[in-house]
Chain A
């Protein structure tokens, strides 16, 4: 039954294939990412073009490398990088041309069973190849290799929101522990009635930004708060901002990042000691507040006893915020260039709901729901939500590419 179905889809596919002269233009006009394994998944045309370009570049580099007298490490690393894409693409091309051969076998009844068997394995291998190529060929996120900083702040809902903010912090800490990523709480302001009013978590693993980028936005919680006496369900929110970490934490970098700004661009303030200061006072006055005048961004830092360290951290966060603003601007610009309307992935609306009554986590952007709230909140199964978002993001990026193509 399954086999015959397979055969039919294969026939279908090959019929379509014979209509259009090039499987490239055919695949481009097709819905590309069907979840059914029985259908053959082709690479979209635009990505094929891109892959071909990479092939050309690879050949050119190869020639260059063989002609050059001296060993060039830059070229060779690039060759290795491109090489894996080129190999995958060549494999993909040969697999697709095999379909053509198979089609002819279908007409022969003695070979039909064998052909169907063959088709099945071919479909599988094409699917894995396409998946690999897709993730490699889609334009990567500019910060995907960076470490990241998460800023958490309560939204509406008073002290319940502050408690939820703390829960979120624990979730991210748990997720980082689960992945064995080093992290530290850079700044934490506890609220005397429970919860936190502000937290900055720095995850110091390069590439962690890629995973955490989908966390940016407003998180909503629906539950009966511990502070509620009448058993009513409340809805509160917390906001998460995800920033890329630029450069390291070392002192040299801190100094360099301070020098990057023009004199007068950044206003540095320290906690003003009353009176004369200097030898008259021995209180630790290490709090630092920096204001970036052109953008109006204010960063204050008071966690460490060292003013130097606080200043370095504040500059680090200012750098990250400015870079993130720059990135968002660019994304908005690219979006505005597109003619078709796109469902918003911006931070304007709530992105996720944590419903404690139903033990459910729902991500509103990709429509993914999970009924293991507790394990999600400890960070153990947050990965599943993030993976769903990754898939969604990839689809969206491809849609964007297709629109550019047509």
Chain B
């Protein structure tokens, strides 16, 4: 990372004395201003801080700016990240929800709502989210569902605890939907654990599996492709991974009898490899999804002849 020029630093100080602290991470004055605005707004308006005197508040903000300047993610400083209509709590050692994930989850939510209007038999769904982290995907999906079973699973106990906290944190928004939302600690590479997880859904088969596995390769994590802030502060367990996860999800999909699967990916290669595997299966179709900034972001596959063919709507035509 290149050094901030004294000239830019001086210019930033004229705008706001706290801006130079933020520059090493944010690089430009407008970006730094934007984050400083959020830091000020959220730290001074939070319930615990609003009663403090202005001197203490200023110290809190100054320390937050210093930490942010060293690369600590804004979401860990403020403790939250908006995800659709929800506010998701963020803690160190659990991956921060990304806007790309928010975007495809919102698309799925739209498809589910459309499908519900068409077919009254599908008003209750069984959805499983693996590598759930903060629990953002199942929680957001449950805002559009009623009387459904929505389970999340993660290998790390801290993540499971945090997702349960998030369920409590958003209970006001979710209280009228009458969904059964639960979080489990599961290692998805252990077939016995996965079987017991699936059996907790009861006799009926799964509708949808959502999946946001770690997908950054080792050489990518230590290259300029990945932000230093991600490398230094977010858990490696939630970042480092590759094709073994997509192979395993195919295995789980067949084992559980799920009708459709959607997985977030890091690059086009992962999409192509996964789709090549799906093509070998009988009765399955697949598609790729690109996010708003044009990056390949997810791969979806579904059983032919089910309602989930609707997933094709969100996939790019190729």
Contacts and interface: CB of A to CB of B under 8 A. Distances in A.
B98 A279 contact: yes
A282 to B, nearest CB: 5
Interface string A293-329: 0000000001011111100000000000000000000
A167 to B, nearest CB: 21
A286 B230 contact: no
B189 interface: no
A278 B102 contact: no
B292 A268 contact: yes
B24 interface: no
A275 to B, nearest CB: 5
A309 B103 CA distance: 12
Contact of A251 (B85, B226, B291): B85
Q: Chain B interface: which size bin? A: 35 or more
A365 B214 CA distance: 64
Contacts, number: 94
A220 B83 CA distance: 43
Contact of B239 (A277, A279, A305): A279
Interface of B: 14-15, 34-35, 38, 42, 73-75, 81-85, 95-96, 98-100, 102-103, 106, 110, 214-216, 220, 224-227, 229-230, 234, 238-239, 264-267, 291-295, 297
Interface residues of A, number: 28
Interface in A49-63: none
Nearest to B264: A278
18 contacts: A192-B14, A269-B292, A272-B293, A275-B225, A277-B100, A277-B293, A278-B100, A279-B230, A281-B226, A281-B227, A282-B234, A283-B74, A283-B229, A305-B81, A305-B82, A308-B83, A308-B102, A309-B82
B15 to A, nearest CB: 5
B104 to A, nearest CB: 11
A283 B73 CA distance: 7
A271 B15 CA distance: 24
B82 A277 contact: no
A286 B42 CA distance: 16
A237 B4 CA distance: 38
Contacts of B297: 277-278
Contacts of A281: 98, 226-227, 230
Interface of A: 192, 251, 255, 268-273, 275-286, 302, 304-309
A306 B292 contact: no
Contacts of B292: 268-270
B82 A280 contact: no
Contact of B82 (A270, A276, A304): A304
Given A270-B99, A307-B102, A278 B84 contact: no
A280 B35 contact: no
B82 A306 contact: yes
Given A192-B14, A286-B82, A308-B106, 10 more contacts: A272-B293, A276-B267, A277-B100, A277-B291, A278-B100, A278-B297, A280-B225, A282-B98, A286-B99, A305-B81
Contact of A280 (B34, B85, B110, B266): B266
A282 B225 contact: no
B215 to A, nearest CB: 6
Contacts of B294: 272
Contacts of B15: 192
Nearest to A188: B37
B102 A283 contact: no
A271 to B, nearest CB: 8
A307 B105 CA distance: 13
Contacts of B110: 255
B293 A280 contact: no
Given A282-B75, A283-B227, A276 B98 contact: no
A21 to B, nearest CB: 64
A279 B266 contact: yes
B99 A302 contact: no
Contacts of B266: 276, 278-280
A192 B30 CA distance: 10
Contacts of A268: 292
Given A192-B14, A284-B35, A279 B293 contact: no
A276 B234 contact: no
Contacts of B220: 276, 280
Given A305-B38, A309-B82, A276 B214 contact: no
A261 B225 CA distance: 36
Contacts of B42: 305
A322 to B, nearest CB: 22
Contacts of A276: 220, 225-226, 266-267, 295
Nearest to B213: A279
Leading 4 A-B pairs by shortest Cβ distance: A306-B82, A270-B292, A280-B226, A272-B293
Contact of A308 (B84, B98, B295): B84
B216 A282 contact: no
Q: Which of B35, B99, B102 has the most CB of A within 10 A?
A: B99
A304 B73 CA distance: 17
B106 A280 contact: no
